[in-house]
Amino acid sequence: MRTNIGLAAPAALASRYARVRALSVALAAPLSDADASVQSMDDASPAKWHLAHTTWFFETFVLRDFVPGYRLFDDRWPYLFNSYYEAEGARHARPRRGMLTRPSLAQICDWRAAVDDALLAALPGLSPEAEALVQLGCHHEEQHQELLLTDILHLLAQNPLEPALWPGDPKVPVAMPGPPGWIAGRAGEAEAGCDYPSGATAFAFDCEGPRHRVLLHPHAIADRTVNNGEWAAFIADGGYRNPALWLSDGWAWVQREGVTAPLYWRQDDGVWTRFGLDGRRPADPAAPVTHVSFFEADAYASWAGARLPTEFEWEAAAAAHDPAGGNQLDGAGPAEPRPSAGGPAFFGDVWEWTGSAYRPYPGFRAAEGAVGEYNGKFMSGQFVLRGGSCATPRGHVRASYRNFFYPHQRWQFTGVRLARDL
């Protein structure tokens, strides 16, 4: 992992480490041992597994590899909590993660505390290479914080009782906004990506680089994402029943899965409701639509006479905005997209599907060592999403940040921004 970290002092890293680690535990606080142990589908992992796997990352790549004399907390656990690092040897099969009722949630929390103690003690003496791995581990854990929330949401949605994890905010009614405005995008050559190491405090994943020139064609991009009210109109107009709107793979998916609305939506007495971490509630027409797949995003864009932006069109438009702004995860209150307060917004609420396949940039090289399996090996069959969501820890994303999922997946907080050719 080549990163461009340049922390001023270990104290800053220690502080960041402690904050990140504490947030994970806070997010898991409302969960029972059973909530934290069950796996609701192959794509998802138990919350306990996320808590353990992020701990395994620090224990393996930092404590084991850089701290002389460190002894593993339990030498049988790395086998259980390695995710996909082939270089780290055999591992428990992903779809079997929900079979691990032992160790318990409490035992995992004990492990977390022990690793935190050891790492914070070791931090002042770590080499820059090890510091970079701690930094990477923090970003890695932030990614798992978001997955923890979306996975637990998926699990709770399987329960006919539809339990709410968090109490909902009292909703302030928001007027249904008018149609989105269009921002004329830049045409011609531009720069994209993040070229590390460049110094200072910046961090980027290997797949965001190298920074390179791209060519933009004349286009415009919407100043907000599609909302629930607009999506309901798409449904009412037969959007899910008209094959002409869909990619061939998308139409096959709609037919096979019987898809008729975003994930977690249901029509109760003629009213569209959605399920969230705050339970089942009416789908606020003014709030960004979420839990839609790339296939749905693309079909919606066709219906609207538009298209999805490329990842570089998005990046050019977002570059001027504050990546730490908008509705992102602060650890307080349920993660849920909120009605727009007005004005162009590019960060938070929902990840935005782009029309760009997730592929390497010119000159891309994966990081070396086991952490080199982090991003590059996933570069087939997935699409790029940009912008972060209400479940993304605030401070985690930036304009060059590339998230990626398969086109049928929609259990993340995924939404849609339109673009069009000029």
Q: How far is the CB of 360 from a copy of itself (least distance, A)?
A: 8
Task: Determine contact, residues 5/127, Cβ cutoff 8 Å.
Answer: no
Binding part of the chain for a copy of itself, among 49-57, 150-158, 266-274, 340-348 by CB under 8 A, reads 150-158
- Comparing CA positions, the residue from 334, 344, 338, 325 lying closest to residue 287 is 338
Can residue 95 be called a binding residue for a copy of itself (CB under 8 A)? no
- The yes or no reply on residue 341 touching a copy of itself (CB under 8 A) is no
Smallest gap, in angstroms, from Cβ of residue 215 to a copy of itself?
A: 4
Closer residue to a copy of itself in complex, CB, 130/155 = 155
Q: With 0-12 CB in 10 A as exposed, 13-18 as middle and 19+ as buried, what is 210?
A: middle
CB of 274 to a copy of itself, least distance (A): 19
Residues 165-204 that bind a copy of itself (CB under 8 A): 189
Chosen residue from 19, 71, 217, 266 binding a copy of itself by CB under 8 A: 217
Dist. CA 173–CA 282, nearest whole Å: 12
Name which position in 24, 27, 35, 339 contacts a copy of itself (CB under 8 A): 35
And the tokens for 346? 């590019």
> Of 409, 270, 416, 404, whose CA–CA distance to 337 is shortest?
416
Residue span binding a copy of itself (CB under 8 A) among the ranges 126-134, 247-255, 278-286, 409-417: 247-255
Asked if residue 260 binds a copy of itself (CB under 8 A), the reply is no
Name the residue nearer to a copy of itself (CB basis): 68 or 305.
305
Q: CB nearer to a copy of itself: give 27 or 123.
A: 27
3-state secondary structure the chain: CCCCCCCCCHHHHHHHHHHHHHHHHHHHCCCCCCCCCCCCCCCCCCHHHHHHHHHHHHHHHHHHHHCCCCCCCCCCHHHHHCCCCHHHCCCCCHHHHHHCCCCCHHHHHHHHHHHHHHHHHHHHHCCHHHHHHHHHHHHHHHHHHHHHHHHHHHHHHCCCCCCCCCCCCCCCCCCCCCCCCEEECCCEEEEECCCCCCCCCCCCCHHHCCCEEEEECCEEEECCCCEHHHHHHHHHCCHHHCHHHCCHHHHHHHHHHCCCCCCCEEEECCEEEEEECCEEEECCCCCECCCCCHHHHHHHHHHCCCECCCHHHHHHHHCCCCCCCCCCECCCCCCCCCCCCCCCCCCCCCEEEEEEECCCCCCCCCCCCHHHHCCHHHCCCCEEEECCCCCCECCCCCCCCCEEECCCCCCCCEECCCEEEC
Residue 175 Cβ vs a copy of itself, minimum distance, rounded to whole Å: 36
> CB-wise, 26 or 87, nearer to a copy of itself?
87
| Nearest distance in Å: CB 46, a copy of itself | 9
Please choose, out of 52-60, 157-165, 221-229, 409-417, the segment that lies near a copy of itself by the rule CB under 8 A. Answer: 157-165
**Which listed residue (29, 244, 320, 332) binds a copy of itself by CB under 8 A?**
244
Judged by beta carbon, residue 268 or residue 421, the one nearer a copy of itself is: 421
Please identify which residue in 57, 231, 246, 300 interacts with a copy of itself, judged by CB under 8 A.
246
Residue 219 β-bridge partners: 421
Q: Is residue 250 close enough to count as binding a copy of itself by CB under 8 A?
A: yes
d(CA 318, CA 183): 11
Q: CB under 8 A: which stretch of 133-141, 154-162, 276-284, 337-345 binds a copy of itself?
A: 154-162
Among 15, 101, 198, 201, binds a copy of itself (CB under 8 A): 101
Name the minimum Å distance from CB 90 to a copy of itself.
Answer: 10
Site for a copy of itself in 350-379 (CB under 8 A): 355-357, 359-360, 362-363, 373, 377-379
Least Å distance, CB 413 to a copy of itself, is 21
CB nearer to a copy of itself: give 347 or 353.
353
Residue bearing tokens 């061939």: 248
- Selected from 17, 21, 27, 37, the binder of a copy of itself by CB under 8 A is 37
Interacting residues toward a copy of itself by CB under 8 A: 32-38, 40, 48, 76, 79-80, 84, 86-87, 92, 96, 98-105, 155-156, 158-161, 163, 189, 212-215, 217, 219, 243-244, 246-251, 294-295, 298, 307, 355-357, 359-360, 362-363, 373, 377-381, 383, 407, 421
